[in-house]
Amino acid sequence: MNKTHKRPSLVVGWREWVSLPDLAVAGIKAKVDTGARSSSLHAFDVKVFEQDGSQFVRFKVHPLQRSTRETVEAVAPVLEFRKVKSSSGHAAQRPVIVTTVEVLGQSWPIEVTLANRDEMGFRMLLGREAVRGRMLVDAGRSYYGGRPPKPARRPPRKRTGTIE
């Protein structure tokens, strides 16, 4: 017996610019990684605190790859702490938050683990739980949604010499 499945209408590349409006992250380059179950966001200065009997996390994000010139500070309720194994095999307890992701004009809530991804190529991974049933991934293409202007995605070049 054949089951018919509704095909997702949204097609994305293996990397896309996305936004996280709940966290005030206007643009961040994300690797769409169907090999990773969870989505992950580069976060540093992560501090868990309690307020009115609930756990929250305060953290900072550098949304631009290979750049620390822009820092976004955010606060979110902690959904849970999850043991996550990195691609190198190292397991760690990470805070998990729920936030809205916006991709190609569509938005929905996703679970995101917070991790220091300074050494990783992408500041965000969009895992298969976030894309399942919503989008098809074209592994041979990038940036179906286009790219932001260069100043928004690249750190300024260091200039030498003097201005006269």
162 is a domain residue = no
Predicted local confidence at residue 157, as pLDDT? 42
pTM over 0.85: no
Predicted local confidence at residue 5, as pLDDT? 59
Domain range enclosing 134: 10-144
92 is a domain residue = yes
153 is a domain residue = no
pLDDT single digits (tens) 9-33: 789 999 999 999 999 999 999 999 9
4 is a domain residue = no
pLDDT single digits (tens) 63-106: 888 888 889 999 999 999 998 876 677 788 999 999 999 999 99
Task: Give the residue with greater pLDDT, 117 vs 104.
Answer: 104
Mean pLDDT of 37-56: 94
User: What is the tally of structural domains in the chain?
Assistant: 1
For β-strands 54-61 and 72-77, DSSP reports them as antiparallel
| CATH classification at residue 38 | 2.40.70.10
71 is a domain residue = yes
114 is a domain residue = yes
Chain-centre distance for alpha carbon 46? 16
Percent of the chain with pLDDT over 70: 83
